[in-house]
Amino acid sequence: MAMATSAAATAALSCLLRAGKRSCLPSARWGCLSSARLSSGVSSYGQRGSGARSLRGNYRELWERAAREPGPFWGALAREALLWDTPHHTDCEWDFAQGRVRWFLGGRLNVAVNCLDQHAQCSPDRVALIWEKDEPGTEERITYRELLEMTCRLANTLKKNGIKKGDRVALYMPVSPLAVAAMLACARIGAVHTVVFAGFSGESLAGRINDSECKAVITCNQGLRGGRVIELKKTVDEAVESCPSVKCVFVAQRTSNKIHLGSRDIPLEEEMAKEASVCAPEIMDSEDMLFMLYTSGSTGKPKGIVHTQAGYLLYSAFTHKHVFDYKQDDVFGCVADIGWITGHSYVVYGPLCNGGTTVLFESTPIYPDPGRYWETVQRLRINQFYCAPTALRLLLKYGDEYVKKYDRSSLTTLGSVGEPINHEAWQWFYDVVGEGRCTLVDTWWQTETGGICIAPRPSEKGAEIVPAIAMRPFYGITPVLMDENGKMIDGNDVSGALCIAKPWPGIARTIYGDHQRFIEAYFKAYPGYYFTGDGAHRTEEGYYQITGRMDDVLNISGHRLGTAEIEDVMDEHPAVPETAVIGYPHEIKGEAAFAFIVVRDDTPYPEMVTKEVRAIVASKIAKYAVPDHVLVVKRLPKTRSGKIMRRLLRRIVTGNVSDLGDITTLDDPSVITEIIDTYENYKAKNSTLK
Ligand code: WT7
């Protein structure tokens, strides 16, 4: 077995190390530093290779060097840190006006080889994945050798069924080793994966499959989450009925429940068992597509954000190492689902490229009880723990006992991501979970940025961390704040629209099939800059604090959702001519959706309609998208040109009616008292609205 696999690894590598090319396995590369502890301080990183030399200096010096000349900074790192078939000849080409960014041009490599083969060759028995299954107390460990084998068998299965380089493959799976192998199998053969979070409805799944014209879907018979069964295959069946591009559906068995397989369906494990455990990697250009991931924007249609090979891989691996101070043999615990970008960058690609051990958390924070995270930390001896503020807000309500009863002495770094973290949650995480001795990093980034852009680390050991803010730009990240007139705001203690001035390797390259939309969404508002969609404050000390979205995008429990997306599906109800959705602060979710709907006069039971529109949102988008409140109103506030003034609705719900701002453009001001009355009536009957 060991022989066969090491032969497999060698075959794959020798394919990369073609005659005449420089050796691609220098002894001093990240993943293969067999025993050397990768140092945490940035300065001592610098003994290896040319790229490593470029990391000499303190945080400030490195940041300035990278910001001044991002090309050479990242170019040297890419050469040193990644395993190339052909090294690149040009570091970076960019033109923000055209939304065009290219990194490491001329370079050729394979991402799966970087994430697997090199580690399987150096340390085949090192654990790559620890699968923390939904069933409490059960875990499975997968070594690099095993993951490489699984990936190759899966890659061969895809190939046998006609999946080729450039084809798109949708994944609708629970967090599991097979899901990771499926992502890497696509990367190995040059196919493009698009992971769809397994909580999305059949209709959402179908929309994504059709937009990207996927040739295949990989799923499981069922999923398990918090002890409940999720009918994944059923949802896929519903979805693919309207997806003509799908030729086959690979079905893995997560539970023992037997399901009927139709003509298009292929039993995944059975087929994998028949395939060889080696698979020659497809050599890809740096700028070939690696994956796409759909995320919400301010229109009703989700955007397929495209990431490419080398730049994304380098950025996710490098930030993983330096923001979390990841050292070899550490156990990295990011509890995000692989259906989101956090799962892509910090469960799969970053940690695996670094030869790390990464936890796959399949369950929920409160199953079987609110001690689940901390019991897992104790049992798996997790060193870095990365989660969302919404989970912390939920858990702190259950009290400290659930935390304190478990041993958390393995923890060194804690991280939070997805939404602004409030002070109470930050302090609880730091004091109670981390016992006041762990570094806590609030990390700001986006699906579009590929990896962390603003976080308290890297910075010198012991450098101050201000609670509950993201603070410092990562190397090569050049944040700027803009005012309403599109002018850059200088100085400190100022707020504005958060933009980034120069490219970094992890930035998204386009929106699949719609580059114009990419330009409009990110490069039009502030010409020459990447606009994040977020607002930020630069403190007196010059640190960044993210204040939240500036567009019509909600952040519900750390998940992005466009108000237009919810409105569009509610509008499909025949008795509902118009709707307006707004976000309001929510104790646990951070933000929640409140929907105002107008119901046709001749509707006999408007109350029924509120239930029906909720059901529509669940079935057309996802359960988490269902508004917490649906209120029937006679009219919506509109400008004379017919634009809905959501700002007024937001003020009514957040209790700011004394300050409605400029209402001179409002068509009929009497609508305001009308809505306030309806709202107050509703609130009086609804205890969840304070
Ligand atoms: C949006 C991106 C990045 C992975 C998860 C979400 C908000 C994210 C923070 C933070 C304040 C944050 C922003 C951003 N956000 N992290 N640390 N502090 N806000 O990815 O779904 O692409 O959402 O999440 O508003 O734009 P996403």
Instruction: Indicate which atom in ligand 1 lies nearest the CA of residue 342.
Output: 4
Provide φ and ψ at 129, rounded to 5°.
Answer: -125, 140
Q: What is the mean pLDDT of residues 418-429?
A: 96
Residues 6+ apart with CB under 8 A from 256: none
- If one compares 106 and 606, the residue with the highest pLDDT of the two is 106
Residue-level pLDDT at 52 = 56
**57 pLDDT band (50/70/90 cuts)?**
confident
How far, in Å, CA of 39 to CA of 178, rounded? 32
> What CATH number was assigned to the domain covering residues 136-285?
3.40.50.980
Question: 557-689 has which fold?
Answer: GMP Synthetase; Chain A, domain 3 (3.30.300)
Ligand 1 center to 562 CA (angstroms): 14
Q: In the 8-state DSSP scheme, what is residue 330?
A: -
Residues of the chain with CATH 3.30.300.30: 557-689
**322 pLDDT band (50/70/90 cuts)?**
very high
111, two tokens: 């991402």
Q: What is the mean pLDDT of residues 114-143?
A: 97
Residue 552 C-alpha from the chain's centroid? 19
Task: Provide the pairing of β-strand 357-361 with 331-334.
Answer: parallel
Atom 1 in ligand 1: residue holding the nearest Cα = 446
Q: What is the pTM (predicted TM-score) of this model? A: 0.92
Atom 17 in ligand 1: residue holding the nearest Cα = 444
How far, in Å, CA of 230 to CA of 198, rounded? 9
Q: Which of 24-28, 231-235, 390-394, 498-502 has the lowest mean pLDDT?
A: 24-28
47-71 in b/e burial notation, b at 16+ Cβ within 10 A? ebbebbebbeeebeebbebbbeebb
Question: Do residues 532 and 544 touch, judged by C-beta distance below 8 A?
Answer: no
DSSP H stretches of helix in 55-131? 59-68, 70-81, 111-112, 118-122
* Residue 418 in contact with ligand 1 by CB distance below 6 A: yes
Using N-to-C axis directions, what is the helix angle for 70-81 and 310-323, rounded to 10°? Answer: 90
Q: Is the pLDDT of residue 17 over 70?
A: no
Atom 12 in ligand 1: residue holding the nearest Cα = 419
User: For 567-598, what is each residue's pLDDT tens digit?
Assistant: 999 999 999 999 999 999 999 999 999 999 99
Q: What is the mean pLDDT of residues 619-634?
A: 96
Q: Is the pLDDT of residue 373 over 80?
A: yes
**84 pLDDT band (50/70/90 cuts)?**
very high
Instruction: Indicate which atom in ligand 1 lies nearest the CA of residue 553.
Output: 25
Atom 8 in ligand 1: residue holding the nearest Cα = 418
Ligand 1 center to 497 CA (angstroms): 15
User: For 205-218, what is each residue's pLDDT tens digit?
Assistant: 999 999 999 999 99
How far, in Å, CA of 473 to CA of 445, rounded? 10
How far, in Å, CA of 240 to CA of 584, rounded? 35
Residues 6+ apart with CB under 8 A from 615: none
Provide φ and ψ at 480, rounded to 5°.
Answer: -135, 155
Mean residue pLDDT across the chain: 91
Atom 14 in ligand 1: residue holding the nearest Cα = 446
Q: Is the pLDDT of residue 520 over 80?
A: yes
Residues of the chain with CATH 3.40.50.980: 136-285
Identify the residue whose tokens are 């309207």: 242
DSSP 149-189: HHHHHHHHHHHHTT--TT-EEEEE--SSHHHHHHHHHHHHH
User: For 678-689, what is each residue's pLDDT tens digit?
Assistant: 999 999 998 888
How far, in Å, CA of 307 to CA of 315, rounded? 11
Ligand 1 center to 548 CA (angstroms): 8
How far, in Å, CA of 648 to CA of 656, rounded? 9
Q: To test ligand 1's pocket by mutation, which of 335, 345, 421, 534 has the most ligand atoms within 8 angstroms of CB?
A: 534
Q: Would you tell me how many other CB atoms lie within 10 Å of the CB of residue 687?
A: 7
Ligand 1 center to 603 CA (angstroms): 40
